[in-house]
Structure 1
Amino acid sequence: MKPTTTAVRAGVARGRIELRQSFTTVQDLWGYLFPTVALLVVMVLMRGSTIPGTEFSRGTMTLPSALGVVVAFGGLVNLAQILTVEREDGTLLRAKAIPGGMLGYLVGKIVLISGMVLVSVVILLVPGAFLLDGLDLSGPGTWLTLAWVLALGLVATMPIGAIIGSLAPNPRNLGVVMLPIMALVATSGVFYPINGFPEWLQWIAQLFPIYWLGLGMRSGLLPDGMQAVEIGESWRHWETAGVLGVWAVIGLVVAPMVLRHMARRESGSSVAARREKAMQRIA
């Protein structure tokens, strides 16, 4: 068996084990459930409010947008956080020491993050479908759209998350990254149609994946009549695929170079130095 095949298989097995373990860890379960419950409460409270110019519930329109944010956070933030933590505790160094270990490590994280995102989407969508009226879940086109937006969204965001995780000195520095991401969420039409914002702000939002993930999810779950409140009064599937595809290409080209550079810098002394600094901060 080829070493690459062995590494990929080991990575898949590792990712599946880590995903199962996440269902038995209190911290991970809290990460699954708390954001879901918080979002559902907000959307239920928004049921009586309508989108301007329509009679459609703002809460229902928020649900697919929130699914897009779940995908973006999984790919960008969760992967970056895992990489920085496991670089600091030496997990990454141990993977580097094994032949094919880095490939297996990355495959495992892809499986883990993809599984976590899929679970988060399901536990948000299923109760949301019962609590909120107006979602279009009847046709196969709905599920096909959700599938390609979810898959392409992960490919577009996970490499960027890997880059962020490779460049961040330690997990505590990720708080700085969260600020611009939260700003993008606020301006990407999650809670309010983006065409209500100033035009310059609309252009900025459309440069990044979060807006397009939300739009893609809305195109799958909302009735066609809701295109009227979108930019150009269209779901813009080709543009969604194009922008997410560009981000995917950029990430897939840059991420391997950054990861290789980061892996070369890893050594026992660097891990020990980071641990010492972490202990000093605790003390």
Structure 2
Amino acid sequence: MTAAAPPSGRLPGVLRLGAHRAVFEVRMFFRERDAIVFIFAYPVIMLAIFSTVFGQDGGRVGPSPGIPYAQYFLPGMVATGVMLSSFQSVALMIAAERDEGALKRLRSTPLPASAYFLGKVGQVLVVSIAQTALLLMLAATAFDVPMPSSASAWAVFAWVFVLGTATGTVCGVAFSSVPRSGRSASAVVTPIVLVLQFISGVFFVFNDLPTWMQQVASVFPLKWMAQGMRSVFLPAGAESFEVSGSWQHGATAAVLGAWLVSGLVVGVRTFRWRRRDDG
């Protein structure tokens, strides 16, 4: 989809084309019912399951009085939702579009490549915001999880969310060239996402994981997104539960920023518009 060319025959600006492409991408996403159900329902269902199972008989995390399990798990579910909406979704969609020849056809049109990628970013932002809003609403209404009450906490939420979404999207674009075909993409991408969830403090209390697992998780963005979100939704003093004893906002920004830059570099160098067997 491209914006209509003005009477002069010149194409609109890249930002306008990107906005038009984002609208098209959002429409295409919401036509994929399987993707909608998985991306929107997965974090919600996992929050409900883990909060119910671990929260039986008033179970809590940390020293007395502790933190209710629903409140502790919510940040990890927000982070994993961002990862599903950005990294996993983008990697799978681009691999499928390449396999179907859609990227090859798109490349032959006047649409700039930058507008195509801006469209993907716009689509991810819309989906991530909608998914996160749904998850927070469920947590607040069904599990009585208190929402942040200060502007500073919401400011931290905003930059972790935006930086995490941008990083996941860029890494998804870069990783989309790894699967050999669209059919094999899910088998390549999904296990990576699942493993990262298990070692990054999404399903378990991060401090309870083996030290070597914590060290491996610290290399990847999901651990830092989850930790950044914990600093927003957990009560004051909960940072003492972290391995470092602090929220490490500087380290969170640095790691996410490093992956963002690395994803851009790798994506520029390796992105393919054609299938491997198409030259």
TM-score range, shorter chain: 0.7 to 0.9
**Change beyond 3 A, Cα 1:3–1:203:** farther
Distance 1:188 1:250 in 2: 20
The aligned counterpart of 1:200 is 212
Deviation digits for residues 197-256 of structure 1, max 9, x if unmatched?
Answer: 222221111000010000011111111221121112211111111111111111112211
Residues 205 and 211, structure 1, Cα contact 8 Å, conserved in 2: yes
The one-letter code of the counterpart of 2:111 is G
The aligned counterpart of 1:178 is 190
6, 9, 30: which one aligns with 2:13 = 6
The aligned counterpart of 1:278 is none
Distance 1:26 1:172 in 2: 18
Distance 1:188 1:21 in 2: 31
Shift of 1:4: 8.3
Residues 49 and 59, structure 1, Cα contact 8 Å, conserved in 2: no
Deviation digits for residues 112-169 of structure 1, max 9, x if unmatched?
Answer: 1121111111111111122234534211122111110011112222121111112211
Partner-residue secondary structure (3-state), 1:218: helix
37, 43, 63: which one aligns with 1:53 = 63
127, 130, 133: which one aligns with 1:122 = 133
Residues 71 and 233, structure 2, Cα contact 8 Å, conserved in 1: no
Deviation digits for residues 28-82 of structure 1, max 9, x if unmatched?
Answer: 4423443144124214413332114242112210011110111122221100001
- Is 1:229 the counterpart of 2:231? The answer is no
Residues 90 and 173, structure 2, Cα contact 8 Å, conserved in 1: yes
Residues 193 and 230, structure 1, Cα contact 8 Å, conserved in 2: no
Residues 36 and 123, structure 1, Cα contact 8 Å, conserved in 2: no
Matches within 5 A, 1:146-161: 146-161=157-172
More helix, by proportion? 1
Task: Give ranges in structure 1 of 5+ residues lacking alignment.
Answer: 272-283
- Is 1:270 the counterpart of 2:278? The answer is yes
The aligned counterpart of 2:174 is 163
The aligned counterpart of 1:132 is 143
- Is 1:246 the counterpart of 2:258? The answer is yes
Matches within 5 A, 1:8-23: 8-23=15-30
The aligned counterpart of 2:226 is 214
TM-score (norm 1): 0.85
TM-score (norm 2): 0.86
Shift of 1:171: 2.5
Residues 22 and 123, structure 2, Cα contact 8 Å, conserved in 1: yes
Distance 2:240 2:144 in 1: 19
- Is 1:73 the counterpart of 2:84? The answer is yes
Residues 80 and 165, structure 1, Cα contact 8 Å, conserved in 2: yes
Distance 2:118 2:197 in 1: 28
Which stretch of the first structure deviates more once superposed, 142-151 or 129-138? Answer: 129-138
The one-letter code of the counterpart of 1:227 is E
Q: In the comparison of the two structures, how many residue pairs are matched? A: 267
Distance 1:25 1:180 in 2: 22
Distance 1:39 1:11 in 2: 34
The one-letter code of the counterpart of 2:157 is L
The aligned counterpart of 1:92 is 103
Matches within 5 A, 1:14-53: 14-23=21-30, 26-45=33-52, 46-47=54-55, 48-53=58-63
The one-letter code of the counterpart of 1:9 is R
Distance 1:218 1:4 in 2: 45
Shift of 1:98: 1.2
RMSD between superposed Cα atoms in Å = 2.4
**Change beyond 3 A, Cα 1:95–1:8:** farther
Task: Give ranges in structure 2 of 5+ residues lacking alignment.
Answer: 1-5
